[in-house]
Amino acid sequence: MKSILDDSIDQYRVVASRLGRAEPRARRETSDEWKTGLANLRERIAPLTLPDELLEFWERWEPGSFELLGESLITFYEPTQALEGYEETVGLQYPRILLPVLSEASHSHVFAIELCSPNHPGSRTFAIDFHLGTTRMIGVGIADPLDLFRCAIESTEAMQEQSPYPGPIDVDRYSHLLQLAFGEIGHLQVEDLVLATWPQHWRDVEGYTVDWLQPRGATHTVAEFDTLRESDGEFSGVLHGQYRTSVAGGLLFGAVGQLRDSTGSIQVFIPDGCRSGGSGPDGWCEMEVEAVRKGGTPSSALPRSSDDLADATSVDEQARVAFVQRMLDATKELDISVRVKAIRPIPHLR
């Protein structure tokens, strides 16, 4: 009995043959290199596991042999490429339950399949839009995205005038079909870095319980905390406010930004690895923070406004390098540091 994936590939092969392109190649039994990549991938994602249809695809077909899709800059991944994509998305704090399995260049999307977890069978396929910061379900398994691309090729074939786009897929026709796929699924969409929008079984994988995501309640206003941190010693607090990043990434190993409420604004440092459930609408969040008194006055080297970031985007490479060095020096030698220990979303604007 044929599988759903078999049917999808058979339909793709018909289109490829009609357009004079090579059919996808079956995996050779003597090919072992991909198995090493598969073993490494399985070890990395454990205790999560791979969906059956994805395994079937890798066992039976060479992902790089879909010539028509390659002409449209659509690439199915081998296990090694999937592992590389996984390391990248996890490093960017995307859900660990999503494994990148293909990329398409027209919309800069990465398509990821949901891994199997103890609380969910997985297998659903999502389009990750890095520009918009959203992840939307487009179907199930490998078969549904393959059908989507095949339908886009057939729709392009049916155009009365030649497509203005190179390759066998017209981008406008593909965009229309993609939106239809989003709509048919029921608009399942999450904000990538806001855990409150994630399904609970995704949060379970990350170790975030429903209770953990609940705001604890502010202990100080921003102005009160800013005054108290001038005193000697170390202390902690919980602040509610609207957060904006000033500079992040690279050798800073974290982010520096401003947290503000109706009473004032305070500069905070969010180190890499900080437990974060994301923010609510317009950047509102709860931050558990700690202040460490080191004497002197707060460093003026850290950026406090967009004007302070001019060197960061300068065309002068020396100015950019000098800016990064100033940021490094400032975060290492903060006279008064406010470091964030945890972030939780506040669901409604205050």
63, pLDDT greater than 90: yes
Q: Is residue 281 part of a domain?
A: yes
pLDDT grade for 327, boundaries at 50, 70 and 90? low
Mean pLDDT, the chain, rounded, equals 85
DSSP state of 295: S
**Crossing angle of the two packed helices 33-45 and 79-91, in degrees rounded to 10:** 30
- 339: which residues sit within 8 A by CB, 6+ positions away? 268, 269, 270, 271, 289, 290, 292
Q: Which of 175, 206, 237 is the last residue of a domain?
A: 206
Nearest alpha-carbon partner for 269 in 349, 192, 343, 346: 343
CATH number at 258 reads 2.40.50.140
Whether residue 350 is contained in a domain is answered as no
Assign residue 57 the CATH number of its domain. Answer: 3.40.1580
| Percent of the chain whose predicted confidence (pLDDT) is above 70 | 85
Distance CA 286, CA 277 (A): 10
pLDDT for 250 equals 66
Quick one: pLDDT at residue 336?
A: 43
295 exposure class (CB count in 10 Å sphere: 0-12, 13-18, 19+): exposed
Is 256 a residue whose pLDDT tops 80?
yes
**Each residue's pLDDT tens digit, 197-241:** 889 999 999 888 888 888 899 999 999 998 887 776 678 899 999
User: Which of the listed ranges 49-63, 87-101, 260-274 does the model predict with the highest average pLDDT?
Assistant: 49-63
Model confidence band, residue 132 (pLDDT cutoffs 50, 70, 90): confident
- Look at residue 181 in the predicted model and tell me its pLDDT: 87
Answer positive or negative: Cα dihedral of 206, 207, 208, 210. Answer: positive
Q: Do 224 and 128 belong to one domain?
A: no
> 170-183 pLDDT, tens per residue?
999 999 999 888 87
Which residue range forms the structural domain that includes residue 237? 214-345
Of 212-221, 305-314, 320-329, which has the strongest mean pLDDT? 212-221
Number of folded domains that form the chain? 2
Higher per-residue pLDDT: 33 or 111: 111
Residues 62 and 169 in one domain: yes
Please report the pLDDT score of residue 318 as a whole number.
77
In a domain, 264, yes or no: yes
Whether 182 and 269 map to the same domain: the answer is no
> 254 and 191: one domain?
no
The two structure tokens encoding residue 174: 């593909």
Q: Where are the alpha helices (DSSP H) in 92-199?
A: 143-157, 171-185
Using the predicted structure, report yes or no on whether residue 293 has a pLDDT greater than 60: no
For the whole model, what pTM was predicted? 0.76
The number of angstroms, rounded, from the C-alpha of 246 to the middle of its chain's C-alpha atoms is: 20
Domain boundary among 184, 206, 228: 206
Work out the average pLDDT over 136-159: 94
Q: What percent of the chain has pLDDT over 90?
A: 51
DSSP-derived pairing of the beta strands 254-261 and 98-104? unpaired
